[in-house]
Amino acid sequence: MNNGEPLIQEPMAVFAYLIAIVGMMFMLSTVNNKGIQKFFKYAPPVIWMYFLPMLSTTFGIIPQSSDLYSFLGTYILPAGLLLLMISTNVPATFKLGGKAVLVFLAGTLGVVIGGPIAIGLFQGILPEDTWRGVGALAGSWIGGSANMGAMLEAFHTPDDILSPIILTDTLVGISWMGVMIALANFQDRFNQWNKADNSTIKKVNEEIASDIENNAKPLQLPQLFAIIAIAFAGSYLIRMLAKMDFIPKSDIMNVSTWTFIIITAIGIILSFTKVRNLEYYGASKVGYLGIFLFLTSMGAQANLADIVEAPQFILMGAVWLSIHIITIFTAARLLKAPLFFVAVGSQGNIGGTSSAPIVASVFQPALAPVGLLMGILGTIVGTYAGLLTGKLAQMVIGG
């Protein structure tokens, strides 16, 4: 591992490196070779879009921190999400029912009870103020970074606790996303074992895919520029709207949170207009490019070498996440819910609006917007659930 300066540092060079990884993975996955096809069946390209940048950071090829990563999260991700939302077949998506929400809430419960249990098990090897970090991490694991920021303020988390907590969030939380992506190949087996009725999900996915296939048109320059203009100009204007003074702000409901909420609302509205016809020219495919690029930046911000700096926090986080996993899978078993609902429910909590659509798209390519909706739900409940988790953790250690 390289402890010196990264080999590639200039933002454009890092961008070229990351987009090359995306292109290489997709091209390799289409090679007509049985061995390669079998390999990508159990380790799909999306996994490598996360793990290869993480390994690149670990071995000093690209930096762990770069202005590019924040740019991708601030501008490229919202652009991609807007294209996914305007491409959504809303009436078909609503046919999924409320079981996905129940599974999501079970995952939230797992985070709330998991934090206090984990800190109770390891309090002998953890700093005294760790409960303040548990509250902050609970905010991140129920909705995302906006909630974490609010919990940092609410619990006055000290810097010596914040650093290992962020590390735990990155390595444990994002690694779970990689596991969920890998599990997509086993959803039929799981659903059969769980006696889960996956027919509605498949029917909705096929209905949406069939509509696109039957109406697909060759991409021409006017449509290409329309797609790009809506994605970037639209998402930028929405972000400017989110900054306006008449939109109420708080630690949780900040500019980024409002941007995702407004993108979802406007995207859904536009999906009922002729703008949705851009999907027949490949609008969602352009949207996925933005999302996959953001995924590579998530992987690049994790460094395996950092594990040795805070092993007790990583261990606490692993136990905590395990309780979330047990809780959400137990709910899925009781509700006979398909694995797709587990995936979007878990990532709606642990990953939030950034990664839930990615995981949803791996399970069911046409249903990425369901993941975004779960992420927004996580943002809404994360404030209260994060506060509750931190207070319970404080009670456990008698702080």
Q: Report pLDDT for 349.
A: 87
Q: Report pLDDT for 251.
A: 58
Instruction: Assess if residue 10 is contained within a domain.
Output: no
The count of domains in the chain is: 1
Instruction: Assess if residue 4 is contained within a domain.
Output: no
Q: Report pLDDT for 227.
A: 95
Structural domain harbouring 317: 68-397
Instruction: Assess if residue 335 is contained within a domain.
Output: yes
Instruction: Assess if residue 27 is contained within a domain.
Output: no
Instruction: Assess if residue 20 is contained within a domain.
Output: no
Instruction: Assess if residue 53 is contained within a domain.
Output: no
Instruction: Assess if residue 3 is contained within a domain.
Output: no
Instruction: Assess if residue 361 is contained within a domain.
Output: yes
pTM of the model: 0.71
Q: Report pLDDT for 61.
A: 94
Residues of the chain with pLDDT under 50: none
Name the residue with tokens 């000093």: 60
